[in-house]
Homo-oligomer: A and B are copies of this chain.
Amino acid sequence: MPLLALTQHQFTQLFKAGCIAAALSLGGVQVAHAQRTIAEQFIQDMKDGKISEAGADDHVVQELIIKRSIPITYDYIDMLMNTPNAFGPGVACTVCHNSNDPSKSYRGLDLSTCKGIIKGSTEKPKRALFTPGTDPKRDPLIRRLRNNRMPLGLGFEASTFTPNHMLVKQWIADGAKNDEHFNKDVLPLFSQANAFGHNTPACTACHMSNQEPPSFHELNLSSHAGIMLGADSVAKGVDKATKVIIPGNPDDSFVWQHLAENRMPPGIAPSEARDHPNTTILSAWIKQGAKCD
């Protein structure tokens, strides 16, 4: 909070209102007093201007719950896994992921127990969903709840194995080079409507330059240089831009992830909030160590 110019009258009024701390603090004098409750802490942070007023959809949850280290219990995570519509309209996670037997449960993934959540997918290729104690934003569990499949609006059932998909995947696997094959066979796909599914716009319809707006995430998919520069290069600076291609590794490359992975729960509309409060809570539980009791 910028130091405001209080008139003597305003200062007196604040004082009369019993807002001694506020009056002193606004007058530039810091008041030290023992914080005992989380409500008091939140109010003091608000008064001190330490609460962010902008950010992602979930910033309120961040400020109130995550930053205050309110412990997220496994009981609540269990509720989220079993409750319909917990992360947006859809069936509960455990309808499809309820066993380590891959003949009955997709990917041999069991989200109905704490152990099962931590173990992850048991079908080959086996894969953990996150690393307890770390930020899971780009790990599979949270990624699958947040990231919309591209091109936007493409259904879950639309193939991710078309020749064009395979060309992109293989180009990344081969090192993402700026060679004749790329320029002739791969790069044009990003500027072509319907390249990755029926009735879909070209990637470059939304990602055409390093300026947002109009280019979402300041991502430019119209040239090799733009693709390799990555996302948010203006907001974060060129050096800290988010890489969207990891040469040699399609599975870790955001471009491929967005082309190949569908958002959960199946059928959720891309317009549904990506930062659902319960997704944030699930992240917090993981960051806090993914404790089972």
Residues of B within 8 A of A1 (CB): 159, 162
Q: When the two chains form the complex, which single residue of B63, B84, B267 contacts A86, counting CB atoms closer than 8 Å?
A: B84
Give complex CA distance A163, B60 in Å: 23
Binding stretch for chain B, among A37-45, A213-221, A222-230 = A37-45
CB of B185 within 8 A of CB of A9, answer yes
Residues of B within 8 A of A90 (CB): 277
CB of A123 within 8 A of CB of B267, answer no
CB of A173 within 8 A of CB of B17, answer yes
CB of B281 within 8 A of CB of A91, answer yes
A238 at the interface (CB under 8 A from B): no
User: Contacts A79-B92, A170-B16: A9 and B181 contacting too (C-beta < 8 A)?
Assistant: yes
CB of A53 within 8 A of CB of B157, answer yes
CB of A84 within 8 A of CB of B278, answer yes
Residues of B within 8 A of A84 (CB): 79-80, 83, 86, 277-278
How large, as a class, is the contact surface on chain A? Answer: 35 or more
A74 at the interface (CB under 8 A from B): no
Binding stretch for chain B, among A95-103, A138-146, A203-211, A241-249 = A95-103
- Which residue on chain B has the smallest CB distance to residue A36? B103
User: Contacts A10-B167, A72-B95: A59 and B155 contacting too (C-beta < 8 A)?
Assistant: yes
CB of A43 within 8 A of CB of B266, answer no
Interface centre among A16, A91, A92, A174 (most CB of B within 10 A): A91
Residues of B within 8 A of A277 (CB): 84, 89-91, 265-267
Give complex CA distance A181, B10 in Å: 10
Min C-beta distance of A263 to chain B, whole Å:
11
Contact surface of A with B, Cβ cutoff 8 Å:
1, 4, 6, 9-10, 13-14, 16-17, 19, 22-23, 26, 36-39, 42-43, 46-47, 49, 51-54, 57-61, 63-65, 70-72, 76, 79-80, 82-86, 89-92, 94-96, 102-108, 123, 155-163, 166-167, 169-170, 173-174, 181, 185, 198, 265-267, 273, 276-278, 281
Apart from A14-B170, A64-B266, list 6 A-B contacts with CB within 8 A.
A13-B166, A17-B166, A17-B173, A54-B155, A79-B84, A91-B278
Q: What 10 A-B pairs come out closest when comparing CB atoms?
A: A37-B102, A60-B267, A17-B170, A51-B157, A60-B156, A60-B266, A13-B170, A14-B166, A91-B277, A46-B159
